[in-house]
Homo-oligomer: A and B are copies of this chain.
Amino acid sequence: MSFSSTSDINSMRSAINQALSEFVKSENKYLAKIGPELDPVATAIESFLLDSGKRLRPLFAYVGLLGAGADASPEIIKAISSLELIHVCALIHDDVMDGSDTRRGSPSIHKLFEKMHTENQLVGSAPQFGISSAILIGDLALIWSAQMLHTSSIKNDQLIRTLPVYDEMRVELMAGQYLDVYEQSLGTQNVERSLKVARYKSGKYTIQRPLHFGASLAGASEELINSYTNYGIPLGEAFQLRDDLLGVFGDPSVTGKPAGDDLREGKRTALIAITMDRATNGQLKDLKSNFGDPNLTGEQVNLLQEIIISTGAASHIESMIKELTDTSLAALKHGGITPVGINLLTELAILATNRKI
C-alpha cells in the first residue's frame, strides 16, 4: 500500500474512522450489559466521535509510521486510532471548562445531558447534571483510548515501546491545557507565553508526539525521531496560529462556531497580543471595551476584526505561519524519512496550516 496524495490521506482517515467505529460499538455493547441507564452515554460518545473530526493525531501517527519505513496493518491502525479518543476527552472537558454550548455545530456533551435532564424532568440542577455527565464521559473516553491501544493486538514489544510516548503525550496535553487556562486568567497579553501554550497544545500533543508514536511502533532510529521533532514543533505553532486566525475570522458555516467566537470568549492568543502591542490609543480603548464581551453584536465583531487587520497583526501572524511552516518542511530533508513519508508530511503541513476549519 502506498500513499502519496490527498486521496491517500482520505483513505487513511477512512481506515481510522472504521477502526474507531468498530471499537466504540463493541465498548457500547459492554456498557449496555451494565444497564440501560448507560444508553445515553453510549449514544453521545458514539455520535461525538464519529460525526466529524479531522483525525489529525492518528493521521500524524500513521504518517510517522510510514515515514519510518513500516507498513500499516489492521492492528497498527487500531493502535494509532486510539489517539483520537484522547482528543475526544480533551474536547469534552474543554467545552465544560469554556462553558461552550456547541461543538462542531451540535450541542456540546454537557448541553446534551442538561437537555436530557430537563426533558425527562429529572430532579436536581440540570446544568450540574450536564457538567457531571460530561466530566465522566470525558474520563471514559480517556480510558477507552488506553483500552483501544492495549487491545489493538500489536506485538507486545511494540506496545511496550509506545507506552512512554503515549504517556508523555497525555501529560503534555494536560500541562498545555492548564497553561492555557492560566494564560486566559492573566491580565496581560504576551506573544512568547501564547507561543509556549501553542507548543504544548499543538506542537507536542498534536504533531510531535503522534509522529513519535508512529515511529515507536516502527522501531525507528533516534535520528528519525529528531527529524520528526524538528518538523513537528514549528508546525504545531503554525497550526495553533491558524486556529487563532480562524477563531476571529473563520466562516461560521464552515467552522460550525459563531463568527468571532474567540473575541466573545476573550481568548488570549498571539494574534491578540500583537494587536494590543500595535494598537493606537483609540483602538486600544475599543478593544478593551469589547474584547471578551459574550454579547458582542455582529457589528462589534466587525469593528474588532478591522482593528486586528489594520494594526497588521493578522498579516504578521500569516507571515509567522508561513515562516514556521517553511522551517518545518526544511526538517524533512534530513533524517532518513522515506519518500512516501516526506510527501505525506508535506501534505499534512499544508492541511494543518492552510485550512478553513
User: Is there a chain B Cβ closer than 8 Å to A117's Cβ?
Assistant: yes
Q: Which residues of B contact A128 (CB under 8 A)?
A: 97, 99
Question: How many of A's residues come within 8 Å of B, CB to CB?
Answer: 59
CA distance A217 to B313 in the complex (A): 57
Verify B167–A143 contact, CB threshold 8 A.
yes
Bound form: Cα–Cα A96–B139 in Å: 13
- A167 pairs with B150, CB closer than 8 A: yes
**CA separation between A175 and B45, bound complex, in Å?**
13
The distance from the CB of A234 to the nearest CB of chain B, in whole angstroms, is 19
Enumerate the 7 nearest inter-chain pairs by beta-carbon distance, A residue then B residue, closest first.
A122-B185, A97-B132, A147-B167, A143-B170, A140-B174, A150-B163, A132-B181
26 CB < 8 A contacts A-B: A27-B171, A34-B172, A34-B200, A38-B175, A38-B179, A41-B178, A96-B135, A97-B131, A97-B135, A122-B186, A123-B184, A123-B187, A124-B185, A132-B181, A135-B135, A136-B177, A139-B139, A142-B143, A144-B171, A146-B167, A146-B170, A147-B167, A150-B164, A151-B164, A156-B156, A156-B160
Partner of A159, one of B140, B142, B160: B160
A93 to B137, CA, bound (A): 12
A159 vs B172: C-alpha distance when bound (angstroms):
23
Please tell me if the beta carbons of A146 and B146 are within 8 angstroms of each other in the complex: yes
Contact B136 A139 (CB under 8 A): no
Contact with B along A190-202 (1 / 0, CB 8 A): 0000001000100
Most-contacted residue by chain B among A34, A124, A177 (CB, 10 A): A34
